[in-house]
Amino acid sequence: MTKPLRVALIGYGFMGRTHSNAYSQVNHFFDVPYQPQLKVICGLERHVAEAFAKRWGYENVETDWHKVIERDDVDLIDICVPNNVHAEIALAAAKAGKAILCEKPLALNTAQAEQMVAAVEEAKIPNMVSYNYRRVPAVTLAKKLLEEDRLGRIFHYRAQFLQDWTISADVPQGGMATWRLDVKAAGSGVTGDLLAHCIDTAVWLNGGITDVCAMTETFIKERKNVETGKVEPVGIDDACAFMCHFANGSLGLFESTRYARGHKALYTLELNGEKASLRWDLHDLHRLQYFDHADDSLVRGWRSVHISDSDMPYMKAWWVPGLQIGYEHTFIHQLADFLDAMGKGEAVSPNFRDALETQKVCDAVLASAKSGQWVDVR
């Protein structure tokens, strides 16, 4: 028996679409205890929200998120708006006792994230943050291999997230499509937007990060702001690289940029252990590269494991062996796990508290880039 879960989605951009798709699909593929009901879509522009409601099947349209929180026909608030509004909405939703799914990064900074964690924990409401790449089956498989200690002692963790969409100085900042370039809306540049994904996955796979040493660069110093119409200084980091220590003694190297011509969303990660190594690449997301030193030396080499058989994480729910899935499925997996945990009254990961750890690393990275010193992650 599934119970209805009345959903209010705040934000009708790119993430609003990925989440809406997940609500529509989850019960077709997963036996979860809830059936999402698309109750309300909320966005600033009524005509856009109305078109979105029509396309995805939302019953109601609101333009003021405060009204959404006040509604008693809503159980879950899904926050898909720019980062600077996450905290305000989450605090109000927690006060109203609603479950919350929040897009990443959780907040603009650690202080805000701490307040948000306190609010959801005090209200005892189900909460989750959308670090979706954990739920790529190949990445979940990497976690399983690490839990089985197949890699042995870990020496190195390496991750990159490379894009190239802001190279032109004509790309503006601010507004619906380019708020990620406006420091007031985003909080930071690639550190909060892209490295946050890498950090979330890294901490999940390899444990906590203790200290960091970073550099950032803003290649284009001024851009037109869509909202004010004026050319304004750019406050975000266009690129960031950092090295770090993990609590398990391994060394980490992370790099992210929106200036890597030719790379659109190239998230790669690699772990090198005493017994084995593994490597994953978002452009080939259904494969996990695996090297096992215990293999017969005559045929030893990197294996490219195609993740499609039903014994692979999440794959039992999908098609038949050999047929792969993609990016949008990670949001469906995330929702399935959230609903499942909610039904059992259990916490899901990454929840607000997990995302606070990522926020702390991001803050330490930005502080280190500013000071030029190693910074402890507090």
Q: Name the residues that contact ligand SOE, by CB under 6 A.
A: 163, 180, 193, 197, 265
Nearer to ligand SOE (CB atom), residue 105 or residue 252: 105
Nearer to ligand SOE (CB atom), residue 265 or residue 323: 265
- Please report the DSSP string for 177-214 in residue order: HHGGG-HHHHSSSHIIIIIHHHHHHHHHHH--EEEEEE
* Cα gap 162→170, rounded to integer Å: 20
Minimum gap (Å) between residue 289 Cβ and ligand SOE: 21
Structural contact between residues 212 and 203, judged by C-beta atoms closer than 8 angstroms: no
Nearer to ligand SOE (CB atom), residue 274 or residue 328: 328
Tell whether omega for the bond before 350 is within 30 degrees of 0, i.e. cis. Answer: yes
Nearer to ligand SOE (CB atom), residue 100 or residue 282: 282
Nearer to ligand SOE (CB atom), residue 17 or residue 245: 17
Minimum gap (Å) between residue 136 Cβ and ligand SOE: 11
* Cα gap 333→323, rounded to integer Å: 17
Nearer to ligand SOE (CB atom), residue 62 or residue 200: 200
Minimum gap (Å) between residue 326 Cβ and ligand SOE: 13
Which residue, 114, 105, 77, is CA-closest to 185? 105
Structural contact between residues 56 and 22, judged by C-beta atoms closer than 8 angstroms: no
Nearer to ligand SOE (CB atom), residue 163 or residue 359: 163
Minimum gap (Å) between residue 242 Cβ and ligand SOE: 18
* Cα gap 85→186, rounded to integer Å: 10
Structural contact between residues 227 and 256, judged by C-beta atoms closer than 8 angstroms: no
Structure tokens at 343: 């039904």
Minimum gap (Å) between residue 358 Cβ and ligand SOE: 12
User: Which residue is at the shortest CB distance from ligand SOE?
Assistant: 193
Q: Edge-to-edge strands of the sheet including 375-376?
A: 303-306, 287-292, 276-281, 266-273, 154-162, 251-257, 239-246, 209-217, 375-376
Minimum gap (Å) between residue 197 Cβ and ligand SOE: 6
Q: Specify which residues 225 forms β-bridges with.
A: 173
Percentage helix, strand, coil, to 5, in the chain? 40, 25, 35
**SS3 of 44, please?**
coil
Minimum gap (Å) between residue 165 Cβ and ligand SOE: 7
What is the Cα 37 distance to its own chain's centre?
24
Minimum gap (Å) between residue 282 Cβ and ligand SOE: 9
Structural contact between residues 364 and 211, judged by C-beta atoms closer than 8 angstroms: yes
Nearer to ligand SOE (CB atom), residue 39 or residue 263: 263
* Cα gap 151→369, rounded to integer Å: 32
Nearer to ligand SOE (CB atom), residue 105 or residue 273: 105
Nearer to ligand SOE (CB atom), residue 11 or residue 273: 11
What is the Cα 243 distance to its own chain's centre?
21
User: CB-side exposure of 180: number of CA atoms within 13 Å?
Assistant: 19
